[in-house]
Structure 1
Amino acid sequence: MPQKPLYATAVEDYVKVIYAHTEWQPEPITTSVLAGRLGLAASSVTEMVKKLGVQGLVDHVPYGAVILTPDGTALALRMVRRHRLIETWLAGQFGYGWHEVHDEAEVLEHALSDRLLDSIDEQLGFPTRDPHGDPIPSRDGRVEQPAAVLLRRIGMGETVRVVRISDRDPALLRRLEAESITLDREFTVESVEPFAVRLRDGRSAVALAHDCLDSVWVGR
């Protein structure tokens, strides 16, 4: 199979990051934020966004937000589906930790054929979320988004269930796993202390540092 051009790979990366930015919060992405997420110079990102606009994948005005068009959203969902299915496959079939799957999926998502990806989906039993709780779009682009809020917004005494944990920081994922903060765990906010929030699940308690609270989404 011929190798995909680097330009096409970059387009896929851009639309995926733009989509992911607004998946769990409402603020649209700007070129400066996009540059930070991609680890690229702002000038390079601005030029690429212009090219994406010419291709009909984004709407953007100078110094304004970058917004996906319907065509851009369709491509982004295709790439998000690939990325998250591969993460789920690596974690479930090869024993990768949830802090390890992201970087591997970043490479593989551009290489696997649609046929192989569909076979992986079937083998896994058509999963609807990845190891971090992010929804996996269906083949036709449907997304089942769970109702969730940041743990930071939960008040003392409320009982909640973990539905999503950000995969942006592998070190944070390792910390949360060490404290058994994993998907579907239910707990009650027992107290809010100066440097931590104390959580209890009936069996044990854990003090979760405040810097973790913007990376954990819960359902009431």
Structure 2
Amino acid sequence: MASPAVDDYLKTIYHHTEWQDQQITPSQLASVLGLAPSSVTEMVQKLAAQGLVTHRPYGPVSLTPAGERRAAGVIRRHRLIETWLVHEFGYGWDEVHDEAEVLEHALSDRLLAGIDARLGHPRFDPHGDAIPDAAGTVHREPFVLLAHAAPGHTGRVLRVSDRDPLLLRALLDAGVDVGHTLEVGAAGTARVDGTPVTLPAGAASAVWLTA
């Protein structure tokens, strides 16, 4: 049954493990969603009863195959909408997340298919996040978080977190954008396409490079 609340939970669980291996805990889920832990516990139990997640008391929450398919469908909608807003309406990459949060629950499947075709079936959104295909499959290159990349490591910027619009703007001002080449320096510095830059605070935990 369609439910924006259920979809938001599944999307958050899915997103948590996209770029790292640690499963999400109920307390982390509550923090991300801005909800009381008791409310999250109750919903997780409902999701488990529906066969969408697995969870044991005081343990992490993970998606079942059915939950992952449904989450991938929601993620696909969200990221296609973000890409559409940037390419067709001139939105900045720091402006699309909140719009997509609203529209992902409102667009019909027919319109979404039309948007996908109009955009040429893109594989990645403006932040570098993979857009699942209609079957829920995603394709990613091996990656490393900037915080874990040693000085001297050179890689293409694969993904920039969309959590903080102010950080997105600061990174764009520094030339750090998806597809550009970044060489890791020391103490918050880097070279982007050969140009020395000072990275804004928070960049190390928000930028992923090719490994």
TM-score range, shorter chain: over 0.9
Q: Do structure 1's residue 212 and structure 2's residue 203 form an aligned pair? A: yes
Q: TM-score, length-normalised on structure 2? A: 0.96
Q: Identity, % of aligned pairs?
A: 55
The answer on 1:168 being equivalent to 2:167 is no
After TM superposition, list the pairs within 5 Å mapping 1:69-218 onto structure 2.
69-189=64-184, 191-193=185-187, 196-202=188-194, 204-209=195-200, 211-218=202-209
The structure with more radius of gyration: 1
Residues in 2 aligned to 1:24 and 1:97: alpha-carbon distance in whole angstroms: 23
- Which amino acid in the other structure matches residue 105 of structure 1? A
1:15-64 CA-to-partner distances (Å, cap 9, x unmatched) read 01000000110000011100111111111111011111111101111111
User: Offset of 1:147 from its aligned partner?
Assistant: 1.5
Letter in 1 for 2:46: K
Measured after TM superposition, the shift of residue 138 of structure 1 is 0.3
Report the CA distance between 1:151 and its aligned residue.
1.2
Relative to the length of structure 1, the TM-score reads: 0.92
Structure 1 unmatched ranges of 5 or more:
none
Mapped contact 1:163–1:183 kept (Cα < 8 A): yes
How far 1:158 moved relative to its partner? Answer: 2.5
Alpha-carbon spacing, 1:12–1:77, altered in 2? closer, same or farther (3 Å):
same
**Deviation of the 1:170 alpha carbon:** 1.0
CA shift, 1:68, in A, is 0.6
Q: Which runs of 4+ in 1 moved over 4 A?
A: none
Alignment partners' CA distance in 2, 1:113 and 1:198 = 43
Cα separation, 1, equivalents of 2:192 and 2:96: 29
| Superposition RMSD in Å | 1.4
Distance 1:174 1:199 in 2: 18
